[in-house]
Chains A and B, each alone.
Chain A
């Protein structure tokens, strides 16, 4: 079974520039998550999709971050403009259905460095 695919693997940008990350979840997984993992911390949920609808985006900094999952499959997360504190690993995860007792499958992440 193919895992969660993310690209790019690494990205270096200057502050105030924009950046986009892509995620393709496991086939058939209805629920998709974007997490931000700052060095030395646990993953922090940014946004959760159920199919192409947003379930939770309470911790997404909406003045600069946006995400979409138009066809209920792959998803993009965008930052515009980036700040120094956005330097982190951005993890995408998917889950079968939306069952709260099911495990998450994670991609390898995109490591973002903002200079």
Chain B
């Protein structure tokens, strides 16, 4: 069965510093990996996805994520954090061979201090 883990409930970063939000996954086949962001009282918004090809994926708002097959990880990164990046971030996995079932992680709250 597929699963996804976000080991950190909260990440705190100073504005202007680089940030990393961690995600590891488990699937039996090839994974499709996603990051979504949730602002207060809003639904989830798509940030970026990894399907195949280049291991470094670029997405919205200056975010990027690195796919590492050997470590089964898909960490979200940004070179310079903004206060407006403060939100809840979810990693999700969709197994290539499954019937479009998408599994979400438990989420990581990112807090950027001025």
**Residues on A close to B: CB < 8 A?**
4, 31, 33, 35, 40-45, 48, 50, 55-56, 91, 93, 95, 98-101, 103-109
Interface residues on B, range: 20 to 34
Nearest first, the 4 A-B pairs at minimum CB distance are A106-B43, A42-B104, A103-B46, A106-B44
Known contacts A100-B94, A101-B49: A45-B41 contact under CB 8 Å: no
The residue among A33, A44, A55, A103 with the most chain B CB atoms within 10 A of its own CB is A103
The stretch of B64-72, B73-81, B95-103 that contacts the partner chain:
B95-103
How many Cβ-Cβ contacts under 8 Å join chain A to chain B?
66
Q: Please tell me if the beta carbons of A41 and B107 are within 8 angstroms of each other in the complex.
A: yes
Does B11 belong to the interface (CB within 8 Å)?
no
Other-chain residue from B41, B45, B51, B100 in contact with A98 (beta carbon distance below 8 A): B100
Do A91 and B43 touch (CB < 8 A)? yes
Nearest A-chain residue to B52, judged by Cβ: A101
Contact between chains at A108 and B43 (CB < 8 Å): yes
Nearest-Cβ distance from residue A5 to partner chain B, whole angstroms = 11
Nearest chain-A residue to B104 (Cβ)?
A42
Complex-state Cα separation, A104 to B38, whole angstroms:
13
Closest to A35 in B: B104
Say yes or no: is B90 at the interface (Cβ < 8 Å to chain A).
yes
Which residue of B is nearest A103, CB measured?
B46
CA distance A85 to B69 in the complex (A): 38
